[in-house]
Structures are given as C-alpha cells and as structure tokens.
Amino acid sequence: MTSTILITGAGSGFGKGAAVELAGRGHRVVATTETAAQADALRAEHPELEAMKLDVTNPDDVAKVADIDPDVLINNAGLGVMAPLTNVPLDRLKAGFEVNVFGMVAMSQAAIPGMKAKGAGRIINMSSIAGALSGPMTAPYAMTKHAVEAFSGALRDELAPYGIDVTKINPGPYNTGFNDTMVNGIAAYIAPDDTPAAQAEEFIRAVILTDQLDPDEVVQTMADLAEAESTPMETFLPPGIMELIAEARG
C-alpha cells in the first residue's frame, strides 16, 4: 500500500537514505531540508523525491504539513552540539533544543490532526544512544535526546486510542558525517590550558569516531518501521548496543 511519507532533515545522512529507500519501495516521499539550496540539490540528484525546504524551527514552514497530510512522519532533523557544560554558549544549547525537541514537537502537532481524521498514522522519532547515556562533553546533545525519550513515550500512549502509532530509533555511532561535525566542534569551546577538558575531548573523539558503522542498517530500519503493521516502543541500533555498554561499564 502506497503511503505519503514526510521526512525532515532529508538532505543527508539517515534522512536522505530513508527517503531514497522508501521512494524505491513505491511510496510518495516528501523529503524536506532546512534550506532551499539543499532541497534544490536533493531534487536534482533524486527527482523521484518531492524535495522541499522545510525548516522545523520556522512556523510558516511547519504550517505546510497540513497540506501534505502525511500518513507517516519521520522526525529526523537534528542539530549536534557537544561542549563542556561549564562554558557552552547558551545560544548553542538553545539551538539544539529548538531543532531536536521543539521542532519535533511542532512537526508532530502539525501532522496529528490529519492522522486523527483518518484514524491512522505513524510518527517515527529519531533519538540517539545519547538519549540513554550522558557523559563529559556530550550533555548539550544528550539533554535534547533525553527530552525526545520523554516526548516519544508519552506521545505513544496519548495517540494509541486514535489509531496513531509512535515509535523511536536510538542509533549508536554510524558513519553519516553528523558525528564528525559534532565531535570536531568541541575544541572551539575548550580553553588552550584546560588539560582535563582536552583529555575528555580526546576520549570522546576516540569512542564516537573510531570504527563508525554502515548507516544502511539504520536506513533500512527506518523504512521497515514506516511500512510495519505495528512497531515496538523503541529500536536500539546496532542490536545489543546497550548490553555492550553495560558490560564495558562493569
């Protein structure tokens, strides 16, 4: 059965991969990007997609969702900010919440009325392994993903009586370029003489950027969840990652 699937943050990474995969499976895919230039580039590369500019922090853009009337909304847009909590600029901290949390809520609120009218729908929220973990330098990002955890769980319970399904995906370190940009940005917030912070940054760099995984595993999971008859509350990837982390912690 063909569905209308709206994906945010589809200019690269998981979002782009899932958009192409789902279009290949025969669905109508509205692939949205933060900027018009990104949408133009995506449309030129993949004319099978309905690429459009939709900034999840822009109310006028979010209002377009009602006209699209998606059967499935994949909240994939994200902003990665990592820095020491002692001096992370508050505007950067707020920016992460604007995209990762408030943008997700706004998009969901815009799509839900149409889903309720149909008595069916699905919302897939992209969380992260950072939604279950936090450590030095990671908190500005992890705080937003912890909020996504709370939002997704509550929304799933609230919308179930209306026939609307909500699920989330918690990826670990996959090689999309997102992690590299996020980790490489930490150094800008560390003073030259702050040795402990520099050591923490070096540790995080090794943990997150070493042997990153093939993102196709996440892309296929996103597509499968979009088509599934029903979904679990959460999907951690790669499988068993939480158990591996628990063992490493002792």
Q: Are 163 and 122 in contact (CB under 8 A)?
A: no
Question: Annotated catalytic, 174?
Answer: no
Is residue 122 classed as helix, strand or coil in its secondary structure?
Answer: strand
141, 162, 174, 189: which one is catalytic? 141
Token pair for residue 171?
Answer: 């990826």
Any idea what DSSP says for residue 120?
-
Any idea what DSSP says for residue 214?
P
Backbone angles phi, psi at 77, to 5 degrees: -55, 135
**CA dist 113 to 55, 123, 167, Å?**
20, 13, 18
Q: Are 64 and 54 in contact (CB under 8 A)?
A: yes
Handedness of CA 241, 133, 181, 51 (dihedral sign): positive
Amino acid at position 79, single letter: L
Any alpha helices (H) in 98-138, and if so which ranges?
Answer: 103-118
Sheet containing 4-7: give its strands across: 50-53, 28-33, 4-7, 72-75, 121-126, 164-171, 234-237
Catalytic sites, residue numbers: 141
